[in-house]
Structure 1
Amino acid sequence: MIRIAAIPERVNLEPFRRWLDSQGVTHVIEHEEGHQVLFIKGEQLRQPVTDALSRYLDDPRHAGAPEGFTKPRQRRGIPGHWQAGPKDAPFTFALIVAAALVAWMTAFGAREQLMVLLTIVNPYEWPVASFEYRVEALTGTLGNLQLWRLLTPDLLHFSLMHLIFNGVMLWFLGSQIEAMDGRRHMVTLVLVTSLGGNIPQFLLSGPLFGGLSGVVYGVLGYVWLSNQRRPRFQFPPALMTVAVVWLLIGLTPLTEALLGASMANAAHLGGLLSGLAYGLVRLANDMRRG
């Protein structure tokens, strides 16, 4: 069976299910973490069913789904996408809200005593001047079971623009992933890209970094890769080009001259590579199931 999409429970899929029956499409709808997951049989039917589902979801009447529904009207936009709201992507929404609250509580990094509780290691407890010291600090911190520190640097932001940019990008991409692929996959993707970005950044430059940028690069890589095989996310193609160019610019002194601060380049690159890797794993699993 081929996984098509995860649709929120609030959406009435019964008319669409009857339409699939009328077209002779073998299908299964499973319930998973507040979503209805649609599977079909037949690789050749993947795109037609995806397009039909997209048109159905774009019809504002789908929640009340009239009995006479047979063929959805022609949709506008990109196949496989509908506008997600906080109820469709509660984890992504909560993550952005948490980052905003931490930014407010830490006064964008000005309140050091609170901030160091969230850095990957406490720089007042561990020497971090060299790579060897940083490895020892990370090992010791994890040995003390301060495991939250691997993830909490994502919540630290040092300017309002930093927070706004990361929040907007994470919502644009992450809400689509959570609404279409399910909350479990979005949580896993955030964990993978957070670890993939934070650990290399710390080992290369130390603990004074933060932000959701690594996760943003990770979800960007995942969405871009997913769309290469089957376009289903709203994703302007130029976005990946801009992200890579910005990543390369970050390797030069230009960003420090323009922004007054260096960029967390290792977190960006590590997050991007982690997102691509997770996308490859998902792609391989989907092909095996198909």
Structure 2
Amino acid sequence: MSWQLALQAPLEQDLSGFRHLLQARHIGHRISEAAGQQQLWVADTVTAEHVRQLYEAWLQMPADNLEFAAAPADAAAGRGMSWKQQLRRYPLTALVLLLTLLVAVWTGVGDVVENVAKLTFNAVLIEGDRAWFVPLDQTLASGQWWRLVTPVLIHFGWLHLAMNCMWFWELGRRIEQHQGSLFLLGLTLLAGVISNVSQFFFSGPAFFGGLSGVLYALLGFCWIYQRLCPVAAYALPRGVVGMMLVWLVVCLLGIVSALGFGQIANAAHVSGLLVGCAAGLLAGLLARARA
């Protein structure tokens, strides 16, 4: 790593509070002494400029606000907030989860085929114990455009539902707080459509669904954005990205299906990740340009 000098401060100045502020925002740094001054170093020039701005603001900050400023951003985990406060702060994240839970109950988490068929990518004709998928062009020609998105709300089993809801709550509110509800809505819809379309072209007409493709998009966004323009909200716990990528590879290799855990929508996962990484790249570069 090539360290960049962010700022210099007198030896007698106590920088411990400012260091706590940087640590709370997950900004890597080190302090050395040279030429009778303290020198604070960071990883790159963009971070250096950001640190200088933080330092100027920190110097002007009243003493009674220093502890608040150094506290980690509560968007990442919502610590210290009641569930009502979190619902008000992350309304879109909560709304998506509410819709997902309602659909899970309505479809019996995939067991009530008649209801599942109303949300599948292709329309389904059911006659007794037999079912036929309607070709996609006929499905869309009949005005059923909602089917491009609605498969993300379908889940097959309570474990599938619980894991996806947990990760959407964890990742969605980070993005909603930092980028806004409309951005999260746009990213969710875009990732949902692209992951569903990708899975359809990969597997053909089939009963597939779940938030997993969207989750990989949210993960990819946080991952790439954080590398380009570090913010506390997107600082995921160590190992999370690696674990999710390893899980993706394990699914691609067919190990999960071979162990009897059902078919995995790999195309939805991969395409969702690519969408999120692309969005994180664009948003991160714009944030760096503004900085």
Give the conservation status (yes or no) of the 8 Å contact 1:79–1:231.
Answer: no
Instruction: Please state if 1:46 is matched with 2:50.
Output: yes
Match of 1:75 in 2: 70
Q: Percent identity?
A: 30
Instruction: Please state if 1:276 is matched with 2:277.
Output: yes
Of residues 74-83 and 280-289 in structure 1, the stretch that sits farther from structure 2 once superposed is 74-83
TM superposition score normalised by structure 2: 0.70
Q: Report Cα offsets for 1:227-266 as digits up to 9, x if no partner.
A: 1023222302411111111111112332123343011100
Question: What is the correspondence of 1:1-290 to structure 2 with a 5 Å cutoff?
Answer: 45-47=49-51, 69=64, 71-72=66-67, 75=70, 77=72, 81=76, 83=78, 85-124=86-125, 137-205=135-203, 206-232=205-231, 233-290=234-291
Amino acid at match of 2:70: R
Q: What is the total number of aligned residue pairs between the two structures?
A: 231
**How far apart in 2 are the matches of 1:235 and 1:52?**
27
**How far apart in 1 are the matches of 2:76 and 2:248?**
27
Cα drift, residue 143 of structure 1: 2.2
Give the conservation status (yes or no) of the 8 Å contact 1:154–1:211.
Answer: yes
Q: Report Cα offsets for 1:8-48 as digits up to 9, x if no partner.
A: xxxxxxxxxxxxxxxxxxxxxxxxxxxxxxxxxx9855345
**How far apart in 1 are the matches of 2:77 and 2:250?**
33
Give the conservation status (yes or no) of the 8 Å contact 1:193–1:275.
Answer: yes
Structure 2: stretches of 5+ with no match in the other structure: 1-45
For the aligned residues, what is the CA RMSD?
3.0
Q: What is the SS of the residue equivalent to 2:138?
A: helix
Q: What is the SS of the residue equivalent to 2:89?
A: coil
CA change 1:163–1:151 in 2 (3 A) is same
**How far apart in 1 are the matches of 2:235 and 2:168?**
13
Give the conservation status (yes or no) of the 8 Å contact 1:197–1:271.
Answer: yes
Cα drift, residue 224 of structure 1: 0.5
Amino acid at match of 2:191: T
Give the conservation status (yes or no) of the 8 Å contact 2:217–2:276.
Answer: yes
TM superposition score normalised by structure 1: 0.70
Cα drift, residue 144 of structure 1: 2.0
Structure 1: stretches of 5+ with no match in the other structure: 1-41, 56-66, 129-133
